[in-house]
A and B are shown apart, each in its own frame.
Chain A
Amino acid sequence: MESLDHNGAVWNFCDFLGHRVIDHQGHALGRVVDLVADLREHDPPITGVILSGSHRRRQHLSWTWVEEVLPDSIKVRSGAFDSLSAVSTIPGEVLLRKGLLDKQIVDTGGAKVVRVNDLQLRKRNGHLVLSRVDVGMRGLLRRVGLLRVTTALIQWLFGYTMPDNLIAWRLVQPVGSPDILRLKFSQTRLARLHPADLADIIEDLDRPERDRVFRALDIEMAAEVLEEADPKVQVQLIQHMPTEEVSDVLEQMSPSEATDLLQELEAPHAQTLLQEMEPEAAQDVRCLLTHDEETAGGMMTTSFFSQPPLATVKEALEALRREASDLDVIYYIYVEDQQGQLVGAVNLRELLTSDPQAPIESIMVKRVVTAALDDKKSDIADLFVKYGLRALPVVDHEGRIHGVIRFKSLLEAVAPYLR
């Protein structure tokens, strides 16, 4: 019995729609218009049925009254008629047709946004549960009523059997209903995604769902997603957020990315955000804002690590350990004299393998490859290629270091030309 239940029958949710609900005496209570599922469970059980009775009034019946699911009707125990109630759901419950069917969902396995063509229900431990989501052509054709004709035709013409495209419910994150995302972000299935994938997903969602998902992210994730998102989408995402929240996210972002984002905004909005940000982070961004986006000054980040020439290797390592989490570039340690002039650089490997007591001055490379503040993208790309760098310091006419261009920023700048 158990095993039969386990591998038991599979239903397509849409087949339920329009089924009659009848009790023991054969009285029809109405026709099924929707089912209620409790999404808080791992395998969401069906907890109720919405039926349209006399005068097309919609009523709710608890699933506990259901005795048997027949091929063309649902049989309920006697007395069910008296427990019909007005349609209502508790938080966490969702109406399958109204809240999921035909809506967008996130397939966290394939990291993409898809539309729900049908939902597959299955018996598990005696409960009818939501088990899979149909996002394939077969599901769509079944809805349209053309499945048999089309599959037969394709089979006959090409000898090809159209496969089902079903996603296990466990890999799905619904985004339609507001209270689903009231969960802590770490508890949603979206937390499993890479920020870059999540950024793509957010771009693919319709605006209401997009805002909902973005607002559900925690600050670190929001910052990373924002860094990866398309500039136009970035602006849309933060447009309707309270200023304090946006500035928190901006502080988490790399200064160069935050600057790029602020440059996309209208000046008054950008100013408000800058004022709201922590002074130190805001100062970095203000400096970067003075440069043209297309030049070295606009591509660099100010979040690099520098040391005076006389600091010892040990001191430098300790300082690096303290600062590392806030730095954009940690592989190179830049050596800056009292005038702010770049006098040398050490890479992390050398730092780790050198005598802790030695002054940095003694191990640094003195001829550092640098870019000027107004160098063009193409010049910078040439330098990266020629010297095989991971990061390139940017200096002014007096040789003072202003920032560092990361390889990542260069890649982003040249990627459009690679297509």
Chain B
Amino acid sequence: MNVRPPATTPRTESQKTPRSRQGYWRRLAVILAVIGPGIITSNVDNDAGGITTYSLAGSEFGLRLLWSMVPITGALILIQEMSARMGVVSGKGLAALIREQFGAAVTFYLMIGIVLTNLANTVAEFAGVVAALELFTVPRYYSAPVAAFLVWFLVLKGSYKTVEKVFLGACVFYVAYIVSGFLSKPDWGSVSREILTPRLDFSTAALTMVIGLVGTTIAPWMQFYLQAAIVDKGLSAKDYRIIRWDVIVGSVTVSVIAFFIILVCAITIHTHGIHIESAKDAALALVPLAGKYAADLFALGLLNASLFAASILPLSTAYTVCEAFGWESSVDCKFEEAPQFYILYSLMIVLGAGLVMIPNAPLIPIMYFSQVLNGVILPVILFFMIRLINDPSVMGEHVNGRLANLFTWLTAVAVSLLSIVTVVTAVW
């Protein structure tokens, strides 16, 4: 009695061709899937605030602040590595770890801080979208609601993973910055001199700019996002080496792009003594200096960066808060199953785009304010991270070594000092 078909049947030829093509695509898909959380986080890090700050740094100070990207990259790698290690070892998100180790009250107030900071950042992203599209003469009353709806719709009704890949692919545009960097024929001798012999400038303007650079490069939401992405991918301790490389490559990428944005603005805008106040100004200033296409590319880069971050920040915030309080959170859920998640997510987008639409909304102070908030929250997060990463009940044998702790504390203290200075200067 034969229940199963005879196993001797040879497979027909016709299936072979599509299968091998399938294998090729699959391999490509695997490579795409391997593009790690670290690289994605870093690319989101080059957001509206980032591009603005880098352009300002270049056009206001020329090459003088270029050196600061070196220690900033170091700090970024150090902090991101801790997030990655915590994700890999504990298998939990940062919000969950903070809740479990420090209790509900601490978590509650921290989450209020995170929501406010991320909201300010989201506003800044939409401001970036608006500014970029205004360069193509699209008025903000169209661009902001359309962008908000697009982001909201794509993530909730489409697949976030697809959205992520599209934006990540679009990040290849950033190569444009590097190309324009070479095209503008900088004097590489003086560039390397500037990096190797840092000139400390303690003027308020320079200090504020350095703080802006730190605040935009090492943002608080990144630590939550990176750790969550690693946990979500199901990476574990055996993947740790690869993840460390992912983090390093990502952090270096963000810095290289930042480096070239500063460079381009330094040799074009700064050398011509033009004063700018925003990324939009920078793009406009580039038209006579570097040509229309360079300016358009600059604007497209800003648009892509802002849209990418605008679709990630609200989502990341909603996930973080729901994780901390144990609320259902998934774009696969119905509204009734995850009301807090959907309300938070939608509110972030509505407020983010809505505030930008207020007539004559001061977009530049908004972007600046978002970085100040980043600066206030970051030391707090760093403090929790250092506590957690030294807790054997969380990290087991993977707690920080003495050297790592020394550097982490140095970074934390430096960032905290800078943050305090930022707040003080902002209040004045």
Chain A contact residues, CB within 8 Å of chain B:
101-104, 112-117, 135, 140, 143-145, 204, 206-208, 210, 232-233, 235-236, 239-240, 283-284, 287, 290-292, 297, 302-308, 311, 315, 319, 323, 327, 336, 340, 373-374, 396-397, 400-403, 419
Report the minimal beta-carbon distance from B28 to chain A, rounded to whole angstroms.
16
Q: Which of B72-121 contact A (CB under 8 A)?
A: 90-93, 96, 99-100, 103-105, 107-109
Q: Cβ of A103: which chain B residues have Cβ within 8 Å of it?
A: 100
Chain B residues lying within 8 Å of A240, measured Cβ to Cβ, are 236
> Which chain A residue shows the least CB distance to B96?
A206
Min C-beta distance of A374 to chain B, whole Å: 6
- Please give, as numbers and ranges, the residues of chain A lying within 8 Å of B108 by CB-CB distance: 140, 143-144
Given A239-B234, A336-B2, does the pair A208, B90 have CB atoms closer than 8 Å? yes
Contact A302 B100 (CB under 8 A): no
- Which chain A positions have C-beta within 8 A of B402? none
Out of B9, B11, B103, B109, name the residue touching A102 (CB < 8 Å): B103
Asked whether, in the complex, the Cβ of A143 is within 8 Å of the Cβ of B105, the reply is: yes
Q: Within the assembled complex, what's the spacing in Å between the Cα atoms of A117 and B22?
A: 49
A311 to B105, CA, bound (A): 73
Known contacts: A143-B104, A307-B1. The answer to whether A112 contacts B236 by CB under 8 A is no
Q: Which of B92, B105, B236, B328 contacts A206 (CB 8 A)?
A: B92
Residue B203 is within 8 A (CB to CB) of chain A in the complex: no
Apart from the given pairs A233-B234, A302-B4, A374-B14, 9 other A-B contacts in the complex at a CB distance below 8 Å: A102-B99, A115-B325, A135-B326, A144-B105, A207-B231, A232-B234, A240-B236, A304-B3, A401-B5
Distance of A208 Cα from B96 Cα, bound (Å): 12
In the complex, the answer to whether B326 meets A104 with C-beta atoms within 8 Å is yes
Over the window 148-183 of chain B, the binary record of Cβ atoms lying under 8 Å from chain A Cβ atoms (1 yes, 0 no) is 000000000100000000000000000000000000
Residue from the list A145, A236, A303, A311 in contact with B1, Cβ < 8 A? A311
Which chain A residues border B96 with CB–CB below 8 Å? Answer: 206
Measured CA separation A114–B327 after assembly (Å): 7
What are 25 A-B residue pairs whose CB atoms fall within 8 Å in the complex?
A102-B103, A115-B326, A116-B326, A140-B108, A143-B103, A143-B104, A144-B105, A145-B105, A204-B328, A206-B93, A207-B234, A291-B15, A292-B15, A292-B18, A292-B19, A297-B15, A303-B4, A305-B3, A306-B4, A308-B2, A315-B1, A373-B15, A397-B12, A401-B5, A403-B5
Interface SS of chain A: helix, strand, loop or mixed?
mixed
Residues of B within 8 A of A297 (CB): 15
| Alpha-carbon distance between A302 and B157 when the two chains are bound, in angstroms | 35
| B1 nearest in chain A by CB position | A319
B6 within 8 A of A: yes
Closest Cβ of chain A to B314, distance in Å, is 21
B residues less than 8 Å from A403 (CB atoms): 5
Shortest beta-carbon distance from A142 to chain B in Å = 9
Q: Which residue of B lies closest to A17 (CB)?
A: B103
In the complex formed, the residue of A with least CB distance to B233 is: A232
Chain B, residue nearest A14 (CB): B104
Instruction: Let me know if B403 is at the binding interface, CB within 8 A.
Output: no
Whether the pair A340, B9 counts as a contact (CB closer than 8 A) is yes
Structural contact, B325 and A396, CB atoms closer than 8 A: no
Contacts of B325 in A (CB 8 A): 115, 140
CA distance A233 to B422 in the complex (A): 43
- Contact for B99 among A115, A308, A311, CB less than 8 A: A115
